[in-house]
Chain A
Amino acid sequence: MDAGFAYAWLVPALPLLSFAIVGLFIAPRSRQAAGLVATASVLAATVIAVIIAAQYYVAFPSGGDAIIAWSFAWLEYAPGLTATIGVLLDPISVLLLVVVTVVSLLVHIYSLGYMADDPGSGRYFTFLNLFTFSMLGLVVAPNILQMFICWELVGVSSFLLIGYYYQKPSAVAASKKAFIVTRFADVFFLIGILLLGYQGFQVAATVGVPDGMQVFDFLFLTAPSTVGALGDASLLTIAMVLVFIGAAGKSAMFPLHIWLPDAMEGPTPVSALIHAATMVVAGIYLVARLFPAFAGSADALSVAMIVGAFTCLFAAVIACTQNDIKRVLAFSTLSQLGYMMFALGVATLASPLGYAASLFHLFTHAFFKALLFLGAGAVIHAVHSNSIWEMGGLARRMPVTHVTFLIATLAIAGLPPLAGFFSKDLILAAALVNHHPVVFAVGLLVAALTAFYMGRIYIVAFLGKARSDSAEKAHEASPVMLAPLLILAVLSLGAGFIPVTEFVGLPSDSGHDHHGPAWLPYVATAAGLAGLLIAWVIYRRPTEGEAEATGWRVVLQRQFYSNEVYLFVTKRIIFPFVSAPIAWFDRHVVDGAVNLTGNLTRWSGIVLSRLQTGQLQTYATWFVGGVVVIGLLFWWWVR
């Protein structure tokens, strides 16, 4: 093992240390210092992560072995059932390490400018550090328990950051919703872990666990013998679907997607980091991490494919009608996550092109989506509004933001040679190669829709004339905010040329057709161009009242009423018909029984005390009466 890998634990540890120090000591005193220390810690983590990735790449240029760089027995539930904390380095964790540290670093730097005037920014940077630590811990998790632990921690960091403006009721509601919806999904994940732990334990007892491995380790759970044994017990599909539901919650797959659009209540850099580039891909990452186990169950993969493809289309359609620039981007994120999920779903162990394509898209998407959000943040910062209809004509006033936003728009629209082109092309190819024509068609349609809605917000926000006074007076963001935009723009331009697919490809991948038919890139590009063109035609000179949706578009704008359905279920069904009756039942029936017992005792005491009159006649009467009754009973009994 390369000596450098031994320091891999520093990557998550530095932000953790910084979280503790900043949170306890620095943030209460100086918010400027808090921002700088937090950013410095992530910078150091990024440097180490990049060095490790370079070393790993040099050692294994076309993917390679999983290395446990560091591990520690954290919690021993029982002999042979230990939760370890450790660092796993393999192609996908190394890839994600780089993505997470780089995007996190850029967001930290950007936030130094974006949050400069916010009196609570000490708290902001504390939470941002906490998130970075948790996400890195999740990425390097060598076992499913550590994954779950960090999974919950990213959830809580996301909650804290969405609710950062905690005096704003909508932000509070959004933060609660995000946490509770993902927690609901996590229950299934937890049950899946319990099932895998239990069954893994059985397998371990019969087959044995390889040296240095634990039952919860991914390497054990995805080993062919374990997968086979789980399949024999016909529990593999159940376990994998349970895990998938957890993943779907975090990655906001339909119908658990409802928290993500609301999560845009958080500060915009948070949306860029957590709700676009990193945390929401955790679900994709989890499925990829357990891919060999998923691949053992065709049904589980089909679920992933169908849910992914549906979300991809559903969210793209909604994105076309939203007026809030961040909400368009949020639905766009949902849609792109759908791409990644169905790409995993179409892959098989024999033909795993979708697996590599999914991770490739995760990689490229992180850069251009973060860029879109940070660009939107710069615009919102300048215009003081989220509505695209209060922007317009920003191209001249914010030239750098404009150019970077345009690059990201073209990248997500899938135009060559930008990053999104390569990864989306590969996903479409994977659907074709593995014979899923419907999914392919959905993917192609969404490619056009993506170009359309992105073209729409780009044209409305940046071209034409200013539609509000603040848009008139908008001016370019500060250099500390522009630098991350430029770096991300370079990455959005060039990330497609990084040979990610070869690097993350599964060992069985060699010798397979890596690309779909020769016509595919042309068709995909044409779809993107068509979308942009339609957007141009419609929104070049938007008609008055375009912001107000009418007719069927209301249904889209209201997101097919999915929020209303959820609210109905919780507020109208669970609270009044489950929770309230239980509270009532407890106070009146269970406690009523207690009070009844008490009262009966008291009444019987009162009644019996009446007998204690102190008069001999009364006692004698009762005595005689009692004797007569007993005598009669006795007589009746012996008769």
Chain B
Amino acid sequence: MGGPVTWLVILPLITALAILAVSSNRTHVFRWVALVGTGLHLLLTGFVTWQYWVQASRDGATTGDGLFTKLYLVERVPWFESLGIQYLVGVDGVSVAMIILTSIVIFCGVLVSWHVVERAKEFFALLLILVTGVFGVFVSFDLFLFFIFYELAVLPMYLLIGIWGTGPKEYSAMKLTIMLMASSALILVGILALHHGAPVPTFDLTQLAQHSYPLAFQSWVFPVIFIGFGVIGALYPFHTWSPDGHASAPTAVSMLHAGVLMKLGGYGALRVGIYLLPEGAKEWALVFMILTTINILYGALAAIRQKDLKYFTAYSSVSHCGFVLFGLVALNSIGIQGAVIQMFSHGIMTALFFALIGMVYGRTHTRMIPEMGGLGVRIPWLAACFYIGGLASLGLPGLFGFVAESHVFLGGFFGNPWIDTTLTRTLTIIATLSIVVTAVYVLRGLGTVFQGPLDEARFGHLTDATLTERLGSGILVAVLAIGGLVPFLFLDLISPSLVPFVERLGDALIRLGVL
């Protein structure tokens, strides 16, 4: 019953139900259930990746061009046939990459949340329900299904922040939920318009992609969809839910949220926006390129002033998520490839940051940067991981961030035939300034927290990471290093699947050869 992709979606749900079935005073049991469930999920992800790889490579070998552009592991069940709604799941390279990201983040999230005390059972269960939604989004190729999963991923956030959060949690939860709901409304409008404008009534993404919508239609639907997804992808000026939301959210939720959920924005903007409405994208690319340039630099500059480690990381995320959207609207193969890599690398990086912030906070009971100092002596493991993450975020070669950022910068600089290259280059040059600003805030922030003299009276007693914490953060650090050292593995996975996107845009890929 059900193929591997379906199992991928329902396994977290089953785990959630299993946790709910456990009596709530047996805390260590449902922790283990969560860990085993997400561990199994990681294995299943490995299996799906392997299957995808084998099948796709076989296709690539037979067609001879080495490109595998189809969907794999497809499961299709009619649902509301009259409306053209069906259960259609499958994977391509981009989906596989995002699934791997999510599996890693949730597994590490469970590891570092080992000591959540208050209503831990409901916490883990909600977390896993949220993850179900996320996986669903990444494998759905029917827009209706896509939207249902999207809502499933966004809604538990309200409870997770409102109940387990800190600080002004009700305000943050409400703000986050309302802004994301408003953006969902935009997405829904866009999806219904796509359905309505199609020659046959269908939500099937692969079928819709056969159709070229009229220009007038594209030029109003594209911004609706792009902004709709842009809100969750922290597009300037719709990003303000994210610093508050992250600051109030508990550790694992911040990890998932910044690590994975914000990637739904970039993913959706690519999968639905640019793929189905390439002409609209061309028309609006300049506007969004300007906004995302602001994103990149503005988030970084704002981060310099932050005192709270979570706001600090949240603004850093605003900057880095800007790279995702910037890469997308560069509208060429390098930029889009960079955007997908950035989704992955930033996902891992920011999950690592929030995990570490949780660990530091658990020890120092403060998140205020100026109050800390010299912690590196007492918690060297956490300091080392934080520095590696920080170096990844400032784009140090050898770590994943560099691979992404160099793609995005090249993509922006190469530009596309639909915008004056002087403009795209100028914007790219402005965006490159962020690498200095990032260095400033990363080194200042981390330098204050971990270096300098230690306040013995206050922090002298701190102990370094526990085993589960080491495992959780170690995995994330390892992924950053592997991605940075052997990026070709990741590129081989995703780049063939990007061909259809670029082909829909027209000559952007070919353009590179005929400039």
Write the residues of chain A forming the contact surface with B, with a CB cutoff of 8 angstroms: 73-81, 83, 145, 148-150, 152-153, 156, 159, 163, 166-169, 172, 175-176, 179-180, 183-184, 186-187, 190-191, 194-195, 197-198, 201-202, 205, 575, 578-580, 582-583, 586, 590-591, 593-595, 598
CB distance from A547 to the nearest CB of B (A): 28
Instruction: Tell me whether B410 and A575 are in contact (CB under 8 A).
Output: no
Kindly state the separation between the CA atoms of A191 and B435 in the bound complex, as whole angstroms: 12
Kindly state the separation between the CA atoms of A351 and B475 in the bound complex, as whole angstroms: 56
Instruction: Tell me whether A586 and B451 are in contact (CB under 8 A).
Output: no
Instruction: Tell me whether B398 and A149 are in contact (CB under 8 A).
Output: yes
Kindly state the separation between the CA atoms of A76 and B179 in the bound complex, as whole angstroms: 39
Kindly state the separation between the CA atoms of A230 and B374 in the bound complex, as whole angstroms: 50
Instruction: Tell me whether B377 and A167 are in contact (CB under 8 A).
Output: yes
Instruction: Tell me whether A172 and B240 are in contact (CB under 8 A).
Output: no
Partner of B443, one of A179, A578, A582, A590: A179
Instruction: Tell me whether B444 and A197 are in contact (CB under 8 A).
Output: no
Partner of B301, one of A145, A191, A582, A590: A582
Q: Which residue of B lies closest to A206 (CB)?
A: B515
Instruction: Tell me whether A73 and B488 are in contact (CB under 8 A).
Output: yes
Kindly state the separation between the CA atoms of A505 and B414 in the bound complex, as whole angstroms: 37
Among the 9-residue stretches B131-139, B189-197, B211-219, B426-434, the one with 4 or more Cβ atoms under 8 Å from chain A is B426-434
Given contacts A578-B301, A586-B315, 5 further A-B contacts (CB under 8 A): A79-B513, A81-B334, A167-B374, A167-B454, A179-B443
Instruction: Tell me whether B403 and A187 are in contact (CB under 8 A).
Output: no
Q: Which residue of B lies closest to A183 (CB)?
A: B439
Kindly state the separation between the CA atoms of A201 and B433 in the bound complex, as whole angstroms: 24
Instruction: Tell me whether B377 and A176 are in contact (CB under 8 A).
Output: no
Kindly state the separation between the CA atoms of A190 and B410 in the bound complex, as whole angstroms: 10
Q: Which residue of B lies closest to A177 (CB)?
A: B443
Instruction: Tell me whether B175 and A598 are in contact (CB under 8 A).
Output: yes
Instruction: Tell me whether B436 and A187 are in contact (CB under 8 A).
Output: yes
B residues in contact with A198, CB < 8 Å = 413-414
Q: Which residue of A lies closest to B514 (CB)?
A: A205
Instruction: Tell me whether A590 and B376 are in contact (CB under 8 A).
Output: no
B residues 105-121 in Cβ contact with A at 8 Å: none
B residues in contact with A145, CB < 8 Å = 406
B residues in contact with A176, CB < 8 Å = 443-444, 447
B residues 100-155 in Cβ contact with A at 8 Å: none
Answer yes or no: B482 CB below 8 A from chain A CBs.
no
Instruction: Tell me whether B410 and A197 are in contact (CB under 8 A).
Output: yes
A residues in contact with B179, CB < 8 Å = 594
A residues in contact with B302, CB < 8 Å = 579, 582-583, 586
Kindly state the separation between the CA atoms of A160 and B487 in the bound complex, as whole angstroms: 25
CB distance from B102 to the nearest CB of A (A): 25
CB distance from A24 to the nearest CB of B (A): 11
Answer yes or no: B58 CB below 8 A from chain A CBs.
no
CB distance from B451 to the nearest CB of A (A): 4
Kindly state the separation between the CA atoms of A205 and B244 in the bound complex, as whole angstroms: 49
Known A172-B451, A187-B435; contact A598-B178, beta-carbon cutoff 8 A: yes
Type the 1/0 row for B240-253, where 1 means its CB is closer than 8 Å to any CB of A: 11011000000000
Kindly state the separation between the CA atoms of A166 and B298 in the bound complex, as whole angstroms: 30
A residues in contact with B305, CB < 8 Å = 575, 579-580, 582-583
Instruction: Tell me whether B240 and A194 are in contact (CB under 8 A).
Output: no
CB distance from B155 to the nearest CB of A (A): 19
24 A-B interface contacts by CB (under 8 A): A73-B488, A76-B488, A77-B406, A78-B333, A80-B512, A81-B512, A149-B397, A149-B398, A152-B395, A166-B452, A167-B452, A167-B453, A183-B394, A187-B433, A194-B410, A195-B413, A198-B413, A201-B414, A582-B301, A582-B305, A583-B306, A591-B244, A594-B240, A595-B175
Answer yes or no: B407 CB below 8 A from chain A CBs.
yes
B residues in contact with A152, CB < 8 Å = 395-397, 402
Instruction: Tell me whether B410 and A191 are in contact (CB under 8 A).
Output: no
Instruction: Tell me whether B451 and A167 are in contact (CB under 8 A).
Output: yes
Kindly state the separation between the CA atoms of A314 and B107 in the bound complex, as whole angstroms: 57
Answer yes or no: B476 CB below 8 A from chain A CBs.
no
Instruction: Tell me whether A194 and B398 are in contact (CB under 8 A).
Output: no
Instruction: Tell me whether A190 and B432 are in contact (CB under 8 A).
Output: yes
Q: Interface on chain B toward A: helix, strand, loop, or mixed SS?
A: helix
Kindly state the separation between the CA atoms of A296 and B45 in the bound complex, as whole angstroms: 54
Answer yes or no: B379 CB below 8 A from chain A CBs.
no
Answer yes or no: B409 CB below 8 A from chain A CBs.
yes
CB distance from A549 to the nearest CB of B (A): 30
A residues in contact with B403, CB < 8 Å = 75
Answer yes or no: B286 CB below 8 A from chain A CBs.
no
B residues in contact with A77, CB < 8 Å = 334, 337, 406-407, 410
Q: Which residue of B lies closest to A592 (CB)?
A: B240
Instruction: Tell me whether A586 and B409 are in contact (CB under 8 A).
Output: no
CB distance from B464 to the nearest CB of A (A): 12
Partner of B439, one of A167, A180, A582: A180
CB distance from B497 to the nearest CB of A (A): 15
Instruction: Tell me whether A75 and B413 are in contact (CB under 8 A).
Output: no
Instruction: Tell me whether A190 and B435 are in contact (CB under 8 A).
Output: yes
Answer yes or no: B491 CB below 8 A from chain A CBs.
yes
Q: Interface on chain A toward B: helix, strand, loop, or mixed SS?
A: helix
Known A176-B443, A180-B436, A180-B439; contact A166-B397, beta-carbon cutoff 8 A: no
Kindly state the separation between the CA atoms of A149 and B485 in the bound complex, as whole angstroms: 11
CB distance from A343 to the nearest CB of B (A): 30
Instruction: Tell me whether B391 and A156 are in contact (CB under 8 A).
Output: yes
Kindly state the separation between the CA atoms of A175 and B394 in the bound complex, as whole angstroms: 16
Instruction: Tell me whether A81 and B410 are in contact (CB under 8 A).
Output: yes
Partner of B409, one of A76, A186, A194: A194
Kindly state the separation between the CA atoms of A434 and B407 in the bound complex, as whole angstroms: 42
A residues in contact with B209, CB < 8 Å = none
B residues in contact with A184, CB < 8 Å = 436
Answer yes or no: B440 CB below 8 A from chain A CBs.
yes
Answer yes or no: B340 CB below 8 A from chain A CBs.
no
Kindly state the separation between the CA atoms of A175 and B175 in the bound complex, as whole angstroms: 40
CB distance from A496 to the nearest CB of B (A): 37
A residues in contact with B362, CB < 8 Å = none
Answer yes or no: B199 CB below 8 A from chain A CBs.
no
B residues in contact with A583, CB < 8 Å = 301-302, 304-306
Answer yes or no: B237 CB below 8 A from chain A CBs.
yes
A residues in contact with B298, CB < 8 Å = 582, 586
A residues in contact with B175, CB < 8 Å = 594-595, 598
Kindly state the separation between the CA atoms of A173 and B96 in the bound complex, as whole angstroms: 43
Q: Which residue of A lies closest to B448 (CB)?
A: A172
Kindly state the separation between the CA atoms of A180 and B300 in the bound complex, as whole angstroms: 14
Kindly state the separation between the CA atoms of A83 and B334 in the bound complex, as whole angstroms: 13
Instruction: Tell me whether A183 and B301 are in contact (CB under 8 A).
Output: no
A residues in contact with B377, CB < 8 Å = 167
A residues in contact with B374, CB < 8 Å = 167
Instruction: Tell me whether A201 and B515 are in contact (CB under 8 A).
Output: yes
Kindly state the separation between the CA atoms of A73 and B487 in the bound complex, as whole angstroms: 11
A residues in contact with B433, CB < 8 Å = 187
Kindly state the separation between the CA atoms of A160 and B298 in the bound complex, as whole angstroms: 28
A residues in contact with B509, CB < 8 Å = 78
Instruction: Please give me the 10 A-B residue pairs with the lowest Cβ-Cβ distance, nearest first.
Output: A149-B397, A583-B305, A591-B240, A194-B413, A579-B304, A166-B451, A172-B451, A176-B443, A583-B302, A183-B439
A residues in contact with B443, CB < 8 Å = 159, 175-176, 179-180
Q: Which residue of A lies closest to B179 (CB)?
A: A594
CB distance from B432 to the nearest CB of A (A): 5
Kindly state the separation between the CA atoms of A247 and B480 in the bound complex, as whole angstroms: 29
Kindly state the separation between the CA atoms of A201 and B512 in the bound complex, as whole angstroms: 8
Type the 1/0 row for B483-502, where 1 means its CB is closer than 8 Å to any CB of A: 00001100100010000000
A residues in contact with B414, CB < 8 Å = 198, 201
CB distance from B405 to the nearest CB of A (A): 10
Kindly state the separation between the CA atoms of A299 and B433 in the bound complex, as whole angstroms: 25
Known A166-B376, A590-B240; contact A205-B515, beta-carbon cutoff 8 A: yes
A residues in contact with B239, CB < 8 Å = 590
Q: Which residue of B lies closest to A578 (CB)?
A: B301
Partner of B436, one of A159, A169, A183: A183
Instruction: Tell me whether B440 and A180 are in contact (CB under 8 A).
Output: yes
Known A80-B513, A194-B413, A205-B514; contact A75-B301, beta-carbon cutoff 8 A: no
A residues in contact with B451, CB < 8 Å = 163, 166-167, 172
